[in-house]
Amino acid sequence: MPSQSDFNQPEESNFAPVLAHWYEHHKRDLPWRHTRDPYRIWLSEIILQQTRVAQGMPYYKRFVEAYPTVAHMAAADERDVLRLWQGLGYYSRARNLHQTAKLVVNEHAGLFPGTYHKLLTLKGIGTYTAAAIASFAFGERVAVVDGNVYRVLARVFGIEDDITTTSAKKRFAALASRLIAHADDPATFNQAIMEFGAIQCTPTSPDCLLCPLQQPCVAYQTGRQQVLPVKAKKAAVRERFFHYFVFRNGNRLALRERTNRDIWQNLYDFALVETDEPKTGFRQLELSEKLQKLVLYSTQTAAPTEATQLLSHQRIRATFYEFVVPDRLTDDLFDGLSWFSVDQVAALPKPLLIVNYLKTHLEK
């Protein structure tokens, strides 16, 4: 098989025009491409991090409707922002979104700074998002570099550096900066390269046969589309075992806000005991004195049910134990648990695991 050195590096100056031409004919019509409002561009970028366009679209529309300006979002209750975000995962994104909105309103008079470097001074806005806002909203010539860009550039230019390393990140960023220098319109260049990675040069089945970059593409010429980009293996997925105690009293359920620095911060779930290993039944668990008392004097109403949720680096295996608490013990809640009516529970921000549990068990 020929090696990379058998091929000439593609001409950097040709890349942007070819890409722009491809984009003109293949771009999808997406709502955030019709605006130069930095707030809406920022919102779409945060939603689309770790999320596919089809999944993110309804969330974008909902957010724009609920919070049409950054001032509306800044004035919102964090709980409502999290509630609207529910189901998208990576909830720190929603919390940062809200924090940054407040920052823009309180420290920048409600206006996003108009340059890449000033945008970077905002907490919660990193290099990728700053480049996206600066180019899409303000037309600044600064290249976005995300997973799509790494993939496209690694393949076209045959770059074998591990994209998780700092040196590789610098190399890709420098290449992207040189490439965007040849673009007529920097915003189009950035949109185009991301779109190209999303629909043409996809991770597992790039459409090489109909690709306008096929001729200069090193990966195609050397049959290494599946090898590039090089990425070090992910850390192993951590298994966690959550044992939820679902306490009911009439129409009410006991939930608490997760306040510790862990997954699902500021979302609501039930009384929880966590173990590193699976257990068969709550009697195998070490319960606190207060939890033990509540369990002992309440009535278990259903067989335990199980559910799993896979997060980026964790697999949560949950078991739910359901109890009806007698009226005389309703003041004995502990560890931040409070009673919420079914309607109140519906309005609380919750992890998907809890949402799904309630969907199947609440109507019983």
List contacts with ligand SF4 (CB under 6 A).
Answer: 155-156, 200-201, 206-208, 211, 213-214, 217, 219-220, 225
**Cβ closer to ligand SF4: 45 or 146?**
146
As measured in angstroms, the least distance from the Cβ of 165 to ligand SF4 is 22
As measured in angstroms, the least distance from the Cβ of 206 to ligand SF4 is 4
As measured in angstroms, the least distance from the Cβ of 186 to ligand SF4 is 21
**Cβ closer to ligand SF4: 137 or 198?**
198
As measured in angstroms, the least distance from the Cβ of 53 to ligand SF4 is 19
Q: What is the DSSP string of 33-60?
A: GG---HHHHHHHHHHHTTS-HHHHHHHH
Tell me if residue 4 falls in helix, strand or coil.
Answer: helix
**Cβ closer to ligand SF4: 49 or 214?**
214
**Cβ closer to ligand SF4: 86 or 222?**
222
Q: What is the DSSP string of 227-268?
A: TPSB-PPPPPPEEEEEEEEEEEETTEEEEEE--SSSTTTT-E
Whether 45 is catalytic is yes
Catalytic residue (one of 12, 24, 45, 239): 45
Q: Residue 310 to residues 261, 270, 338: CA-CA distances in angstroms?
A: 19, 19, 28
Measured distance CA(334)–CA(320) in Å, rounded: 18
Tell me 103's DSSP state.
H
**Cβ closer to ligand SF4: 94 or 183?**
183
Q: What share of the chain is helix, strand, coil (3-state, %, to 5)?
A: 50, 15, 40
H/E segment holding residue 80: helix 78-85
Helices 12-26, 186-199: crossing angle, 10 deg rounding: 70
Tell me 9's DSSP state.
P
**Cβ closer to ligand SF4: 124 or 197?**
197
Pairing of strands 271-275, 268-269: unpaired
CA angle 81–86–92, rounded 5-degree value: 65
Q: Please count the CA atoms within 13 angstroms of the CA of 275 that sit on its side-chain side.
A: 16
Measured distance CA(67)–CA(106) in Å, rounded: 17
Active site residues: 45
